[in-house]
Chains A and B, each alone.
Chain A
Amino acid sequence: MREHHLSRAAYRLFVRAYPREFRERFAPDLEADFLEMRRTRGAAYAWRRALGDLFYALPLTTSDATAERGRTARIRGPITPPGEPFMRSLLLDLRHGFRALVKAPAFTLVTILTLALGIGANSAIFTLVNATLVRPLGFQDPERLMLVYEAIPGSGRDRFGVSPADYVDLVQYQQSVSNLGAYRTTTVELSGGGEPEQIDAAVITASLFNVLGVKAAEGRTFFAEEDQGQASVAIISHSLAMRRFAGRAAVGSTVAIDRQPFTVVGVMPAGFEFPRRGASSNATPADVWMPLVFTPSERQGRGANYNLSVIGRLREGTPPAQAAAELSALASRIRDNYPADLPLKVNIGAMPLREELLGDVRRPLLILSGAVALVLLVTCANVANLILSRSLARQRDIGVRAALGAGRLRLFQVLLGEALILAAFGGALGLVLGYLGLRAIPAVLTTSLPGVSTISLDWRVLAFTSVIALGSAALFALVPLYAGLRRDLHDLLREGSTRATGGRRQHRVQGTLVVTSVAFAFILLVCAGLFVRSFRNLVTVASGVGTNNVLSAQVRLPLAGYTDPTRTRSFYRTLEERLRALPGVRAASIASDLPLEPDGDRRAWTAENPTGPGMKQAVAVTWIQGDFFGSYGIPLITGRHFSDDEQRENRNVAIVSKRLAEAYWPGENGLGKRLKWGLKAASPAPWLTVIGVAGDVVDGPPGSEPVIHVYVPYASATNALLTSPIVDLGRRMVIGIRGDQDAVTFTPAVRGIVAELDPALALSDVQTIAQLERDRSAPQRFSAVAISGFGLGALLLAAVGLYGVLALSVSQRRREIAVRLALGAPPSGVLRLTVREGMTLVTIGLAVGAIGAASATRLLRATLFETSVYDPLTFAIVPVVLFSVALAASYVPARRAAAVDPIVALRE
Chain B
Amino acid sequence: MSPVPLTPAVFHILLALTDGPLHGYAIMQAVEASSGTPMGPGTIYGTLERLEASGFVKELPAARSDRRRTFALQPAGRAALQDEARRLSRLATLVRAKRLVPRES
Contact = CB atoms under 8 A, between A and B. Distances in A.
Max chain A Cβ within 10 angstroms of own Cβ: one of B28, B39, B41, B67: B41
Interface string A8-40: 000000000010001001101110111011000
Contacts of A50: 40-42
Nearest to A33: B41
A57 B53 contact: no
B45 A26 contact: yes
Contact of B40 (A28, A49, A63, A66): A49
- Please report whether the interface of chain B is mostly helix, strand, loop or mixed according to DSSP: helix
A63 B50 contact: yes
B49 A29 contact: no
A694 B49 CA distance: 86
Contacts of A36: 25
A382 B53 CA distance: 58
A502 B88 CA distance: 75
Contacts of A54: 40, 42
Interface residues of A, number: 25
Nearest to A26: B45
Nearest to B70: A29
Contacts of B53: 63, 65
B68 interface: yes
Contacts of A541: none
Max chain A Cβ within 10 angstroms of own Cβ: one of B39, B45, B68: B45
A375 B41 CA distance: 45
Contacts of B50: 60, 63, 65
Max chain A Cβ within 10 angstroms of own Cβ: one of B24, B40, B53, B67: B40
Contact of B41 (A25, A30, A58): A30
A61 B49 contact: yes
Contacts of B69: 26, 29
A58 B46 CA distance: 8
Contact of A52 (B23, B40, B67): B40
Nearest to A51: B40
B43 interface: yes
B35 interface: no
Contacts of B34: none
Nearest to B59: A25
Interface string B19-38: 00001110010000000001
Contacts of B23: 29
A826 to B, nearest CB: 76
Given A61-B49, A65-B50, A32 B42 contact: no
B47 interface: yes
A29 B45 contact: yes
B58 to A, nearest CB: 14
Nearest to A52: B40
Contacts of B28: 33
Contact of A57 (B24, B25, B42, B68): B42
A53 interface: yes
B8 to A, nearest CB: 11
Contacts of A459: none
A569 B69 CA distance: 82
Nearest to B69: A29
Interface string A683-707: 0000000000000000000000000
Max chain A Cβ within 10 angstroms of own Cβ: one of B43, B67, B68: B43
A36 B45 CA distance: 16
A60 B46 contact: yes
Contacts of A26: 24, 41, 45, 69
A52 B39 CA distance: 9
Contact of B46 (A22, A28, A33, A52): A22
Nearest to A32: B68
Contacts of B38: 49
B6 to A, nearest CB: 14
A37 B24 CA distance: 12
A29 B46 contact: no
Contacts of A58: 42
Given A32-B25, A33-B28, A36-B25, A57 B43 contact: yes
A36 B40 CA distance: 12
A18 B42 contact: yes
A56 B42 contact: yes
A425 B39 CA distance: 40
A251 to B, nearest CB: 33
A239 B14 CA distance: 53
A7 to B, nearest CB: 16
A50 B43 CA distance: 10
Contacts of A56: 39-40, 42-43
Given A53-B42, A53-B43, A56-B42, A33 B49 contact: no
Contact of A60 (B25, B43, B67, B68): B43
Contacts of A32: 25, 67-68
A61 B53 CA distance: 12
Nearest to B67: A28
A34 B53 CA distance: 25
Given A33-B24, A60-B50, A22 B40 contact: no
A515 B74 CA distance: 72
Interface string B47-90: 10110010000000000000111000000000000000000000
A30 B43 contact: no
A29 B47 contact: no
Contacts of B68: 28-29, 32
A34 B42 contact: no
B42 A61 contact: yes
Contacts of B45: 22, 25-26, 29-30, 57, 61
A50 B39 CA distance: 10
A57 B46 CA distance: 6
Contact of A65 (B42, B49, B67): B49
Nearest to B28: A33
A552 B53 CA distance: 83
A379 B43 CA distance: 45
B41 A63 contact: no
Contacts of B24: 26, 29, 33
B10 to A, nearest CB: 10
Interface string A59-101: 0110101100000000000000000000000000000000000
A613 to B, nearest CB: 70
Contacts of A33: 24-25, 28, 41
A66 to B, nearest CB: 7
Nearest to B54: A65
Contacts of A60: 42-43, 46-47, 49-50
A579 to B, nearest CB: 68
Contacts of A25: 45, 49
Contacts of B49: 22, 25, 60-61, 63, 65-66
Nearest to A49: B40
A34 B47 contact: no
A56 to B, nearest CB: 5
Nearest to B24: A29
A66 B28 CA distance: 22
A36 B49 CA distance: 22
8 contacts: A25-B49, A29-B41, A33-B25, A49-B40, A50-B42, A53-B42, A57-B40, A63-B46
Given A50-B42, A53-B40, 8 more contacts: A25-B45, A26-B24, A53-B41, A57-B42, A57-B46, A63-B50, A63-B53, A65-B49
Closest 4 CB pairs of A and B: A53-B40, A57-B42, A60-B46, A65-B53
